[in-house]
Amino acid sequence: MSKPNQKRLLKLRFLGEGFRDGHVPITIVASKLEALQALVFHAAATVTHDTTARRGQWLNKYRSVAELEFHASRQNCLLIETALLTPEDRLPGTPDVGADAVDLIFRVRSALGDNPSAVIDIVPDRTERAFVLRSMEDLCPNTTEDYQVELENCDQAHPKVVFSAETRKELRRLFAPTETEVQRQITIVGTLVKIHVEIAPKIISVQLGTGTEIWCYYDESMRDQISNLVAGSMVEVTGLATFDGAGNIKQVDSMLDVETVSMDPLRIARFVHKNVVYSLHHPVQASVERSGDIWIYNCPEINLWGVGDRREEAISDLNETFDFLWRQYAQENDALLDEKARILKRTLLGIVKQP
């Protein structure tokens, strides 16, 4: 296999506490490779200022300039190398759409961390910007997953960038409602019972635990995310809603985010609170429950609880509570603790790696 131009090479690396044992589920690898390809296609359409609707087989026009091919993999560091196809019919002096698309991706991701408002200058068109940012969100882990995806181009102009759960939150903030809209922002959780992709109106329908069915409208930039949803699954939708006279939700007029929800126990390899990291010798499991409108996470091994209106809030509460337990029990003198507290202290000291 010939060595590709470094500017056309993209390396995708999986790392983090979530993959401490060195094994990455193939479903995650497949979904992130698909997300990377979609991001490159959308970036290619953006750099060419293509205003045609991105529907159906729209991406076929970019396969010759922006399609990725497998190049190599390195199992020991969970690294996958891909490369842009080299267009054979590109005339000298004409734009290299694939390379320009890669450049756009790295400039936008770098701006997110340094100066989010600069993203508007990089991609002035609101619709094009939304497509690129939504595609980047698909490359990020979900907010409850403890791993990162690292993207490298091997070009000095493009320092490697990381897509993490925190990156997803940064992207969501760019879609945050204005001050006049913030009172309309809600989060609902329910069963996905209807998906409209090729037919109008552009909605998904979510059935709440009460049996009420809520229509949620989305814009074209969320099309890829909506297409990947599976009817019958549980989803969490955040958006701007309309309410009836009794204060009940009538519909979600504008979706800001949608995420598939898993009720499987969460494996936690570390707790983090205010930049303090508690790495564990072995992951602990947290059960996931939903009571009314509240998420509840519980680690019975250490009697640890976290609650919140949203899953990320409940997990944040779980991390904060662990920090409290560590300071109040693990660092306390045995003479000041009763027998039950001393048992908890020994448990905490036994699961946390000491510096």
**Full 3-state SS string of the chain:** CCCCCHHHEEEEEEECHHHCCCCCCHHHHHHHHHHHHHHHHHHHHHHCCCCCCCCCCHHHHHHHHHCEEEEEEEHHHCEEEEEECCCCCCCCCCCCHHHHHHHHHHHHHHHHHHCCCHHHHHCCCHHHHHHHHHHHHHHCCCCCCCCEEEEECCCCCCCCEEECHHHHHHHHHHCCCCCCCHHHEEEEEEEEEEECCCCCCCEEEEECCCCCEEEEECCHHHHHHHHCCCCCCEEEEEEEEEECCCCCEEEEEEEEEEEEECCCCEEEEEEEECCEEEEEEEEEEEEEEEECCEEEEEEHHHCEEEEECCHHHHHHHHHHHHHHHHHHHHCCCHHHCCHHHHHHHHHHHHHECCC
- pLDDT given at position 20: 66
248 and 108 in a common domain: no
270 and 331 in a common domain: yes
332 and 252 in a common domain: no
123 and 87 in a common domain: yes
> Does residue 331 fall inside a structural domain?
yes
CATH of the domain at 315: 3.30.160
Most distant pair of Cα atoms in the chain: their distance? 80
> Does residue 26 fall inside a structural domain?
yes
Contacts of 27 (CB under 8 A, 6+ apart): none
For the chain, the domain total comes to 3
The percent of residues above 70 in pLDDT, for the chain, comes to 94
> Does residue 80 fall inside a structural domain?
yes
308 and 249 in a common domain: no
144 and 279 in a common domain: no
- pLDDT given at position 90: 62
> Does residue 67 fall inside a structural domain?
yes
Q: Tell me which residues of the chain have a pLDDT lower than 70.
A: 1-7, 18, 20-22, 75-77, 87-91
Domain end call among 105, 140, 174: 174
- pLDDT given at position 75: 60
d(CA 256, CA 186): 10
154 and 18 in a common domain: yes
Domain end call among 209, 242, 261: 261
17 and 158 in a common domain: yes
CATH of the domain at 189: 2.40.50.140
17 and 35 in a common domain: yes
What six digits make up the tokens of 201? 């109106």
- Helix axis angle for 97-114 and 126-139, nearest 10°, is 80
The domain of 160 spans 6-174
220 and 308 in a common domain: no
- pLDDT given at position 177: 79
Bond into 124 cis (ω within 30): no
151 and 67 in a common domain: yes
Is the whole model's pTM more than 0.85, yes or no?
no
Domain end call among 209, 244, 261: 261
- pLDDT given at position 1: 43
114 and 226 in a common domain: no
d(CA 240, CA 283): 37
Residue where the block lists tokens 């059935």 = 207
> Does residue 1 fall inside a structural domain?
no
